[in-house]
Each structure stands twice: as C-alpha cells, then as structure tokens.
C-alpha cells in the first residue's frame, strides 16, 4: 500500500493560488481544455485519446473555435511527449486560447499542475473555462472528528469529515431509571445501577475502539483529529475518564459538552455547540506554532526571528526549523537584469506596486555598466519564493491563516514573517 501523503499547508497554499489564477481564465466556446491524468495511466493511451479528439475537433463549425481547440490539443500532445513518466499523483494540464483584448486576440496559455494528492479519474473537458472541481476538492479538509453523545440511557457514535456527518451507531443501555420501584432496597437498587452502568460503558467502549481506532491509523487516508463527547448529566464525564476504550482515543478528546439528547439530535446539538472548535481546529496546529514563536520573542530566548531579510539570512544558513508565513502576505519577489552586462538584482515589493515599477523600469540604470536596458527576469509570489527556498534546505513551512486571533497578532505584530530556529543564534 502506498503511503498516503498529508498535504502540507504550503502545498495547499500553492494549489489554491494556482486555482485562483486558472479560475479567472475565460475563453470562447469550447477553447479551454482541462485534462486530468491519473498516475497509473499509460501516456501513449492519453496521446491516442487526444489524437482522436483532434480528429473530432475538425468538425467544429466555428472556424476560430476549431482552430483554438486544435491548437490546444496539439500543444498538449507536444507537452506529453516531453514527459517521460507520470508522477505517482498524476498530472493536470490546462491549455486554451485566452483573449487578451476581445475576439481575435487569443493567445495559447498552458498550465501544468502537480496535485498534492492522487488524481483518480481520467478526465477531458472542453469549455469556455477550465474545469477545476477535482483540484478544488483536494483543498477540502480530510481530517475526521469523532463525535459521541452519551447519557445513562444510551449513546450515539458519529464521524464528521468536512461537511459530511455520518451517524455510525446508536446503542441503548439497560441502566434503570433514577428512582427505584417500590419493594427494592435502596442499596440493592444502587448496586443494580452500578452494574448496568459498568456493562453499558464496556459496550460503549467497544464501539469506540471499533469505530475510531481505524481512523486513528488512517487506513482510508483519513486522520482522526479529535473527539468531542457530549451528553446530559455526569455520565459523559465518567465515560470520558473511564478506561473502557483505548488510551490513544482518550488522548484525542478535545472537549466535553452539555447537550440534551443521546441520539442524532444530540449529535447535531453537539456540532452546533462545538462550531467554533471544529472550525478552528485545523488552525490549532498553526496557533500553537505562533504561540511558541511569540513566547520565544517575548522571553528573548534567541530561538525566534522575524522580518524578510532575517528569514532569508537564516534560511540560507540552514538555521530555521519552522518558517511561519501569513497568508495575508501580498508581496512579490522580482528579479531584474541588465541585458547588456548580465548584472541582476532581486527585490521585494507589494503586488499592486509591480505595474508602477514596470512603467518606470526604463529609468533604472545598471550600476555596473550604466546601461538602461534593464528588464524583469522573474516575478514570484513572496510566499512561494520563501517557501520553496525553505523546502530546498529541509525547513518546514507553515502558512498561517489571517482569520484566527493568533494569526492576526502574527500579521500585525511581525508583518506575517517569522521563524523558529533550530538552534540559538548568538550574534543576533
Ligand atoms: Zn549592465
């Protein structure tokens, strides 16, 4: 069995960025082609498929659309020739004639996306826009939550994954009602309750193990992120503290909540009452990192740095353990080059400043040969630039959301650029 990758926040950031670009591309008729190729597909089969589509395209009535579609298919076939073997995850290719300024100004644009998880189905689409659903689906969280409601009369076990709620099991207990019937001694009655409760707990514990342990091990590529237990009365706490289910599941309990029912209605109430928790849970990992970063800064331990220049410096030294980048960062890293002598320089600027910079580029003179033949050699999103640099030296990258409290502090206080170091740096 191949190991299921857990897409990293940086990888998902890059995918989201790519999707945003592709979403904006609009063409005419059916001129934009989207092609999803699973990793186990034979490339020659794909090429044959495309050749057939090329033949079909010759029947397209509109002359301009016919040309656009055929050009796009030709371009894809040429790209496939260069690819020797497909990556395990497969590949997504988007090619189409995009108008730059109305009809007749179309230029062929092409994009290759290496997905963070496997493409499972071969798909070929011609439309006026790119077909992006399979990629968008990959952005959906794969994490699973275990939800349990339990009280003295029964329990319900459920899982929540993304927005899908699955009620897995409902059981009822044989625990008698709170008040004994006449004729029984109070002590005997309490013993009965105790015994029935203990049997009920054991049964509930077995269901816990059966339902949630496989998720813990991630057999379906899922990952149990946390367990929330709800119910009325003290049963839920007693159950959470008991030893009737695996200790690894116990470690996953993140919250115990008061709800009124022990059935599906109870599960729904539990979700409602835990909305904040569930919504923010994916951010808990990054929250902890930001808190750790800020603790190092506050205590001046020498284990944290911030600011773009510092980050580049320590990245190049291989000194950064975790690089934290706010998703709010809207900067680009631009490299300019002298076409006369080859001198070049990189600088960082706000994304919206770029067009102004480009307009004034002829004012720049090369510091080496004084030529004014300066041009933009490359232009990369700053998060992408720093993230790639970090990955190339084995540094973990975490994209910090802008919507959490800690994320907001990280953005406002540190400009959204920080790092936790592998070792203490003395000459800071
Ligand atoms: Zn020069």
Query: Averaging pLDDT over each range in 138-147, 284-293, 301-310, which range is the top one?
Result: 301-310
> 365 C-alpha vs ligand 1 centroid, how far in Å?
8
Q: Read off the tokens for 355.
A: 């067009």
> 311 C-alpha vs ligand 1 centroid, how far in Å?
29
CB-side neighbour CA atoms (13 Å) of 422 = 12
> 389 C-alpha vs ligand 1 centroid, how far in Å?
27
Residues 11, 13, 17, 20: is their CA dihedral positive or negative? positive
Question: Residue 380: what pLDDT?
Answer: 95
Identify which of 27, 18, 17, 21 has the alpha carbon closest to the alpha carbon of residue 96: 27
> 312 C-alpha vs ligand 1 centroid, how far in Å?
25
What single string gives the DSSP state of each residue in 150-212? EETTEEEEEEEETTEEEEEEEEE--PPPSSPPTTS-HHHHHHHHHHHHHHHHHHHHHHHHHHH
CATH label, 143-273, candidates 3.40.50.2000, 3.40.50.620, 3.30.230.10, 3.30.420.60: 3.30.420.60
Q: Are residues 13 and 327 in contact, defined by beta-carbon separation less than 8 angstroms?
A: yes
> 392 C-alpha vs ligand 1 centroid, how far in Å?
30
Q: Is the pLDDT of residue 162 over 50?
A: yes
> 317 C-alpha vs ligand 1 centroid, how far in Å?
30
Report pLDDT digits (tens) over 239-261.
999 999 999 999 999 999 999 99
Q: Is the pLDDT of residue 100 over 60?
A: yes
Question: Residue 141: what pLDDT?
Answer: 67
Phi, psi of 74 (to 5 degrees): -60, -45
Domain boundaries, the chain: 9-139, 143-273, 286-421
Low-confidence winner among 78-82, 211-215, 218-222, 381-385 (lowest mean pLDDT): 218-222
CATH number attached to the domain at 9-139 = 3.30.960.10
> 96 C-alpha vs ligand 1 centroid, how far in Å?
37
What single string gives the DSSP state of each residue in 2-46? PPPP---HHHHHHHHHHHHHHHT-B-STT-EEEEEE-TTS-HHHH
> 413 C-alpha vs ligand 1 centroid, how far in Å?
39
> 376 C-alpha vs ligand 1 centroid, how far in Å?
13
Residues with CB under 5 A from ligand 1 (ion): 338, 340-341, 343, 366, 368-369, 371
Q: How far apart are CA 412 and CA 198, in angstroms?
A: 53
> 364 C-alpha vs ligand 1 centroid, how far in Å?
11
Residue 72 Ramachandran class (φ > 0 left, ψ -120 to 50 alpha, else beta): alpha
> 366 C-alpha vs ligand 1 centroid, how far in Å?
5
Low-confidence winner among 38-52, 127-141, 193-207, 282-296 (lowest mean pLDDT): 282-296
> 367 C-alpha vs ligand 1 centroid, how far in Å?
7
The CATH fold of domain 286-421: 60s Ribosomal Protein L30; Chain: A; (3.30.1330)
> 369 C-alpha vs ligand 1 centroid, how far in Å?
4
Alpha-carbon distances of 21 from 10, 16, 124, 176, 349, rounded to whole Å: 17, 9, 20, 62, 20
Q: Are residues 261 and 272 in contact, defined by beta-carbon separation less than 8 angstroms?
A: no
What number of other Cβ atoms are within 10 A of residue 369's Cβ?
A: 12
> 381 C-alpha vs ligand 1 centroid, how far in Å?
26
> 250 C-alpha vs ligand 1 centroid, how far in Å?
65
| Band of residue 179 on the pLDDT scale cut at 50, 70, 90 | low
pTM passes above 0.75: no
Report pLDDT digits (tens) over 222-231.
678 899 999 9
Q: Is the pLDDT of residue 2 over 50?
A: no
> 373 C-alpha vs ligand 1 centroid, how far in Å?
8
């Amino acid at each position: 069995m191949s190991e299921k990758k857990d897409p990293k926040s940086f990888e998902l950031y890059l995918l989201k960025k790519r999707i945003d670009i592709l979403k904006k591309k609009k063409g005419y008729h059916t001129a934009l082609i989207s092609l999803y190729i699973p990793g186990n597909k034979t490339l020659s089969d794909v090429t044959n498929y495309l050749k057939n589509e090329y033949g079909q395209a010759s029947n397209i009535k509109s002359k301009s659309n016919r040309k656009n579609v055929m050009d796009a298919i030709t371009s894809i076939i040429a790209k496939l020739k260069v690819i020797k073997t497909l990556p395990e995850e497969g590949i997504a290719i988007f090619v189409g004639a995009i108008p730059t300024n109305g009809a007749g100004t179309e230029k062929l644009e092409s994009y290759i996306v290496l997905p963070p998880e496997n493409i499972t189905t071969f798909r070929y689409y011609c439309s006026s826009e790119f077909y992006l659903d399979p990629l968008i689906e990959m952005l959906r969280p794969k994490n699973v939550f275990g939800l349990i409601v339990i009280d003295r009369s029964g329990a319900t076990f459920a899982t929540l994954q993304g927005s899908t709620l699955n009620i897995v099991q409902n059981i009822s207990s044989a625990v008698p009602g709170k008040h004994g019937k006449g004729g029984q001694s109070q002590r005997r009655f309490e013993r009965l309750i105790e015994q029935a409760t203990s049997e009920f707990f054991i049964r509930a514990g077995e269901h816990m193990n059966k339902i949630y342990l496989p998720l813990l091990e991630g057999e379906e590529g899922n990952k149990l992120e946390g367990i929330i237990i709800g119910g009325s009365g003290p049963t839920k706490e007693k159950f959470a503290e008991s030893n009737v289910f695996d200790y690894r599941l116990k470690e996953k309990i993140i919250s115990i909540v008061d709800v009124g029912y022990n059935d599906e209605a109870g599960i729904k109430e539990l979700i409602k009452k835990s909305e904040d928790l569930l919504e923010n849970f994916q951010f808990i990992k990054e929250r902890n990192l930001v808190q750790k970063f800020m603790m190092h800064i506050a205590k001046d331990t020498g284990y944290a740095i911030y600011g773009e220049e510092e980050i580049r410096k320590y990245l190049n030294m291989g000194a950064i353990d975790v690089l934290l980048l706010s998703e709010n960062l809207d900067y680009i890293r631009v490299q300019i080059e002298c076409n006369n002598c080859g001198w070049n320089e990189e600088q960082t600027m706000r994304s919206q400043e770029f067009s102004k910079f480009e307009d004034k580029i002829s004012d720049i003179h090369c510091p080496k040969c004084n030529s004014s033949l300066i041009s933009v050699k490359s232009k990369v999103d700053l998060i992408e630039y720093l993230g790639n640099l970090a990955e190339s030296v084995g540094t973990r990258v975490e994209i910090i959301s802008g919507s959490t409290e800690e994320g907001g502090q990280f953005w406002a206080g540190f400009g959204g650029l920080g790092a936790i170091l592998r070792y203490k740096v003395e000459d800071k």
